[in-house]
Structure 1
């Protein structure tokens, strides 16, 4: 983990990539620091939401609210305040281990999950602190911040294009290439392969 990294150090190192001076905070009174403070949270949230990163996936049992939906569903649950994507990666109707997620029987309305289920557990992408990010994601974040800041701080659109391609590849890659692809590959190495569900029909011997 990149324990020494913060939002400010990541932006500072992105500025160094652009040949600019580092900043000491987002409120040091300079135009560049103000731009970093304004842009960084959205850049971070965008990158976190682009892939099911293993380091920022959380499982949580939701608390049922006392309020009830207007129609269709009988129960509603509060989504976590640190959820990034606005919707969960997976929804379960039990806290037991080894169960499969449910694909239907629920919907997201605003910051609530509505359903008829008495128990709801979700997997979701959360807003992870920079100190808990692995180095490969921090590197991707530096490249992406450099891409967003390049034109504003250097007045050179070619630098913006260079760092965007460095981050995500050429336009034909649909923002799935460049270092982003490499970071996804590294992240995927640490995942345990999911076992296939067992169905009675497939267990029958012929």
Structure 2
């Protein structure tokens, strides 16, 4: 099972460095990993609607309504990295995101979003991308080689492209319909 430490350790091993056992170790590599990892993790999860990180929730309105413009405001979950849709499929609602709230003229909001999940729940392809991305981010600091850093960055981009393609193939095909111009042609 993957963890933040195993992902960072594998990235260090790719660079010929010793793995770490904790972010709290008194080593340069542990400090670099602890500084870089949170932003790499959140950026990777936000970058694509990974099936393993998609979550759904029904939100109840806050007890305090917005000052004007909408009837209710709904607190966005604290683990939300990216909103994918608001409202049930086919019944999207007009809404506005302001701060940590979704404003809407409805009593309940169905939210589909990217959730910050534990690395142990990640897909194997996403773990590989995380390892490759961390290796690219750490490469120059660990090896002082600009060419190795550039090579690892290219490998990370390729791994991300492959992982997105694989992840996207697990979804059902999108059906076209409901568009008057599309339907008029047939």
TM-score, structure 1 as length reference: 0.83
Q: 1:34 aligns with which of 31, 35, 39?
A: 31
After superposition, the C-alpha distances for 1:97-119 in whole angstroms (9 at most, x for unaligned) are xx4152x6210001100111122
Within 5 Å, which residues of 2 pair with 1:14-163?
A: 14-85=11-82, 88-92=83-87, 99-102=89-92, 105-163=94-152
> How far apart are the structure 2 equivalents of 1:138 and 1:26?
18
After superposition, the C-alpha distances for 1:43-87 in whole angstroms (9 at most, x for unaligned) are 0110111111111000110121000111111100010110113xx
SS at match of 1:100: coil
Count of paired positions: 185
- Across the aligned residues of Structure 1 and Structure 2, the Cα RMSD in angstroms comes to 2.0
Question: Which stretches in structure 1 are left out of the alignment for 5+ residues?
Answer: 169-177
> How far apart are the structure 2 equivalents of 1:198 and 1:152?
53
Do the aligned residues in 1 keep the contact of 2:64 with 2:73 (CA within 8 Å)? yes
SS at match of 1:84: strand
User: CA shift at 1:41, angstroms?
Assistant: 0.9
Change beyond 3 A, Cα 1:5–1:74: same
Do the aligned residues in 2 keep the contact of 1:51 with 1:184 (CA within 8 Å)? yes
Change beyond 3 A, Cα 1:112–1:153: same
User: CA shift at 1:195, angstroms?
Assistant: 3.8
After superposition, the C-alpha distances for 1:165-188 in whole angstroms (9 at most, x for unaligned) are 1111xxxxxxxxx11110011111
User: CA shift at 1:164, angstroms?
Assistant: 0.8
Question: Which stretches in structure 2 are left out of the alignment for 5+ residues?
Answer: none
SS at match of 1:58: strand
Task: From the two aligned structures, give the one with the greater strand fraction.
Answer: 2
TM-score, structure 2 as length reference: 0.92
**Structure 1 residue 187 corresponds to structure 2 residue 167:** yes
